[in-house]
Amino acid sequence: MNSTNLPSTTKHRPYLHEVDFMRVFFICGVLFNHTLNKFTEVMTSQSGWPYYDLKSIRMMFHFSRMGFMFMSGLVLTLNYFERNDWLTFFKKRYNGTLWPYLIWNFLLMLLTIVVSDISYASFSNHYLTAIIHGSSFYMYYLLVTLQLYLVFPGIVWLFKKWPNAHKRIVVISFFVQIILVSLIKFKFANMDTGSWPYWFKSYSINVFSYQFYFIFGAFTSLHYQYTVDFIRRHIQAIGISAMLLSIGTIGYFRIWNLKILGLANDQATSPHQPYMLFFDFLTICTIFFVGKQYEAWRDNGMPEWLTTGVSRIAKVSFGMYLNQTIILMILKWLLSMLSVPDWVLLFMLPLGWLSVVYGSFTFAWFCYKVPPFGFLIGRPNFSVRKVVLKQS
């Protein structure tokens, strides 16, 4: 396959400003989805049109989760494909992800106990469950990422083992993903999985549930110019299809999933569905194209304030994901203090979302700039050893 690869060595690795744009777009999409959930949780009626309308548009933004999975595959491949030093890889990646995972689960679990009637005596059990299952505080993404680090050497081996079959690998991965999400939706949903190990029955924290997005991200990194050119040639069809599928999620949720299939709400809005696979893939391609347009604009007179804003949000996007639970808890508390009709809450959603984005960014940026809090966002900015050496 003839294509232009991005160099994966540290010395010559280019900086992809479009990746910054995608990080910002996807984190804002994630925060919008979770903000929407907080608004529906405080609505007085779960059968009224405001509640139903918000639930109906929720699937439009599920692509952000898969977008982050795609980004993970792309960035890891860009940085580590040619290094072949897996001990250093594991040390660096786990130090940057495992510690925030453990610390934030601890802090948020402690905060939950403080503001609720949960007994302190049960803290250790709740904390251990949260760590093992990744089921609290939106930490599933970090648990999946920790698993990805384990299987990433296998992804590298796969592409190196068959250097002339990379396109075939992606196509096979896509069809495997179709089979996986079809089994999840139409087979496993109707089975009693109560006796299954948690990792098998909880698809959202199973790394293999997202295998295509990691493979596609790796392929994009290795054949970057080929991917860019392909998307540019077909962007009209890709973009229109993504838009139509986005609008179609409303009917897919209301008519197909709820009325025809009679699915429960969680199953009806699950991202692990064949329809969502096509929607997510096309939307990621569209956003990738928009990211390239952002890069071109950035190189040709973009306002400095916008460039700086995107760069800063991208830099602490991981930290924004980590601290979002605190900001969302504050939002829900403020919303619960209001005595307004549900339709007013519906129209307040954009303001609530912007407030969450601003609050999570401010929190993360503070941690990034002020030692020693950088460790909270996976960017340590304080070293006792360096302080001792400096003083001596």
Q: Could you report the per-residue pLDDT of 23-57, keeping only the tens digit for each? A: 999 999 999 999 999 999 999 988 889 998 998 99
Q: pLDDT tens digits for 345-375?
A: 999 999 999 999 999 999 999 999 999 999 9
Cβ atoms within 10 Å of 375's Cβ, excluding its own: 17
Kindly give, in sequence order, each residue whose CB lies less than 8 Å from that of residue 208, ignoring residues fewer than 6 positions away.
180
Rounded CA-CA distance 349/39 in Å is 7
Q: Which residues contact 373 (CB under 8 A, 6 or more apart)?
A: 366, 367, 381
| Residue 377 near residue 323 (C-beta atoms within 8 A) | yes
More confident residue, 35 or 9: 35
Asked whether the beta carbons of 363 and 328 are under 8 A apart, the reply is no
DSSP category for residue 151? H
The Cα 392–Cα 387 span in angstroms is: 9
What residue spans of the chain are helical by DSSP H?
Answer: 17-41, 49-57, 63-80, 86-115, 123-133, 140-161, 166-182, 198-201, 211-222, 224-233, 235-251, 265-268, 274-298, 304-315, 317-336, 342-369, 384-391
Q: Residue 50 and residue 36: Cα distance in Å, rounded?
A: 11
**Which pLDDT score, from 0 to 100, does residue 275 have?**
98
Query: Please, which residues have CB within 8 angstroms of residue 288's CB and are 6 or more apart in sequence?
Result: 18, 22, 220, 227, 231
Closest CA to 62 of 223, 249, 215: 249
- Per-residue pLDDT of 109-145, as tens digits, reads 999 998 887 788 889 999 999 999 999 999 999 999 9
pLDDT value at 9 more than 80: no
Mean pLDDT for all residues in the chain: 93
Residue 350 CB: number of other CB atoms within 10 A? 10
Task: Give the residue among 91, 69, 100, 78 at the shortest CA–CA distance from 212.
Answer: 69
Determine the Cα–Cα distance for residues 191 and 193; give it in Å rounded to an integer: 6
The answer to whether the CB of 86 falls within 8 A of the CB of 58 is: no
Of 220, 204, 101, 217, residue with least CA distance to 152: 217
Return the domain boundaries, the chain.
17-389
Q: So what's the pLDDT on residue 374?
A: 94
* Cα 252 to Cα 298: distance, rounded to the nearest angstrom: 38
The number of beta carbons lying within 10 Å of the beta carbon of residue 315 is 17
| Rounded-to-integer distance, Cα 100 and Cα 373, Å | 11
State the amino acid at position 118 in one-letter form.
Answer: I
Predicted TM-score (pTM) of this structure = 0.93
Segment 163-192, tens digit of pLDDT: 999 999 999 999 999 999 999 999 998 888
Average pLDDT in the 94-109 region?
96
**Measured in whole angstroms, how far is the alpha carbon of residue 231 from the centre of its chain?**
22
